[in-house]
Structure 1
Amino acid sequence: MNSILQKRCWQDYLFALLISLTGIVTWHRYGSFLDYYEQGILLGAVAGLIWLGWFWPALRWFFPVCGAIALAAIGLYQGDLARGQSAFWLKYVLASQSAVMWMCVLFFLAMLMYWFGMLKRSGTVLGIASGLTWAAAAAALISKLVRWYESYLIGSDIGHIPVSNLYEVFILFCLITALMYLYYEAKFDQTRDQKEQSARAMGAFVLPVICAAVVFIIWYTFDRQAHEIQPLIPALQSWWMKIHVPANFVGYGAFALAAMLGVAQLVVSKSWLVNRLPSYDTLGEVMYKAIAVGFLFFTIATVLGAMWAADAWGGYWSWDPKETWALIVWLNYAAWLHIRLIKGWRGNVLAWWAVIGLLVTTFAFIGVNMFLSGLHSYGGL
């Protein structure tokens, strides 16, 4: 423990102090409204944010900047939700729905710049694309924080963490997938061989899956008016939702990232774009790391889901269609990791497996709600 602390610099301790003070203020203002479980979640969130900032220094500025902007937006409301339609900065930039629209625009611009930078082999353009992705992720996080506050402006009995419906979780998916990609982009760009193409070129394949989610968000917003905040249905009125859903979407984001890198690996194997993408082995290594992280969090989410089921329905497992398909997803990636780690498989087989795995995961997430009925049939389109 001492050796870990000795490796920290003053920026680490300053970040830890900032997050700790934020947690203390939150506890002081809202602690009386939280039950023991929610107080535990708050403490865990503080510890988790500090660890993330220490693990990945870029988050030491990302979280505080997003938090400061969200607080500025909250201050502009002055306790009146109607100001979201009259105050200039809220209406066009900082209200949750405005921030989501900016997120959508920025992700599309980032995808175009990644493709342009990859095809032209331009480090400058790829750097701009990376910056746009950071900005889009910031807009997503700000929208989440502001929407959380907006829900409480409607009513204390309405307020809830914004991970309760498809609209909210698709924004969470965009945020998590983008941040995970940006981490691997930075890590592998620093360690690549000087002759190898920048790891930032991977964004040309990763951003399309995020933009696919953005298309869904736009359709769901304008066709179904899904951006309107609704009360939680009874099945979701539980503190378990605050930890089960985010853990699940770390898994979903990681699996989506891995699948798109699998596509990139298959492209390179055909000698297409071979001088514009990182090496075949690098793409395979990032794909493996993403699946390993995703599998860990999906396992945690599955365990949490079973505990939630026991609390809500009296049993840990009922072979509900959602539970069954979650098990199929888990077994799929458990087999993928076993084949790679124990059998030593590499190459196109695992790339195709990752791509097909995303289709299985997508059906488990959306298809089950659309085509099958069960205890989880409250998240349909």
Structure 2
Amino acid sequence: MSVDHLPKNKSDRALDTAKDKTREHARNLWQIISRYTRIEEIAKPTAESKRQPEHKQLYSSTFISTLSLIPYLLILLFGVSFYWDFNGLSTAIWGQHLQFEGLLKILSVSGLIGFFTNWIAITMLFKPAEKRPIFGHGLIPAQKNRIAHRLAQAVSEDLINPEIIKKKITDSNIIGRYRRLSTRYIKSIIDDPQFRSDIKQWVLKYLDEMIADPEIRAALAKRILTQIEEALHNKSFEKIALKTYTFVKGQEMQSIIEEALVQIPTSVESGLDKLDDLLDQLPRKIDKNSENIENIVTNLLYKLINQLNVHALVEENLRSYDEQHISNIIRSATNEQLRYIQYLGAILGVIGGFVIWEPLLSVILLGSLSAILLMLDQLIYQYTKAS
């Protein structure tokens, strides 16, 4: 069947059919590869990858829960002080006359002031999330763009800049390690006899379906003939030789090409045993060229890293968040410390109450206690460092 007798649109339809068959067989090939490589299972996020990084608590939940009782205790003491507040109770220490009356009220009020001032200050960092006519705007929401810029600058300059990433890649030898793992993984697949058999069957089925269709075969022959003619466009001697060959054969070149195409499946089938040799040699070839492969991958990664503008990426993402989301990010990361600061304000307020009640004695006691704590902290630090 000569393609010259095919209308152009019929030839085009045949090529479109060939493309459709090729896409279908490509999907079949992908299914074979997926089945043996388990690529879909590998692509699924594992439980380990889904697990969030463990958040290390600075303070135990019991300690925080205990501190949370302080404001309620201070409120209770403040209420009790209206009914009893060391009425008329006094004593003398080291010649210093101490009057206890009113102490409960002083301590409870000072402690509550310390707690609520810290609570208000922390709340003002995040609230109001949207600007209000009287209460204004929370510090963090109001400075969202500036925070985004500063965070992006810190990340890009100190945490994830290209030089740090390059050094990490080099020091960890991660590319070489993954190349060795990939080689072993590929070998485990291609050594499977069933995998080789399925690949061979796929090749033969694809060629059989493509060549068995007369219209597709004719269209392919026409395409090959066109390419031959283009290649011989300025080569007169080769053109004469080609015409002489077709004359001797007594056939048009189109028919000769079609006959050759019919023989392709048989020729390929007889030569498929060489595929085993190629697959056997593949791991060795990868190992032989391991240095070149690692250099290529490393250079590609370096080029990618150099194109990566971490500052712009981080800042753009942070700016896209609304004010409330930015506040939630910061608050969730520091909530434990912020709660501790609130309760610490109550403790410091109580200490301030003692200073108000009896300044000289309180300063002496606080100074002595602070000195003892500093020395103890230094001793523990040196012991820990030495061990």
What's the TM-score bracket when you normalise by the shorter of the two chains? under 0.3
Structure with max Cα Rg: 2
Higher relative contact order (CA 8 A, sep 6+): 2
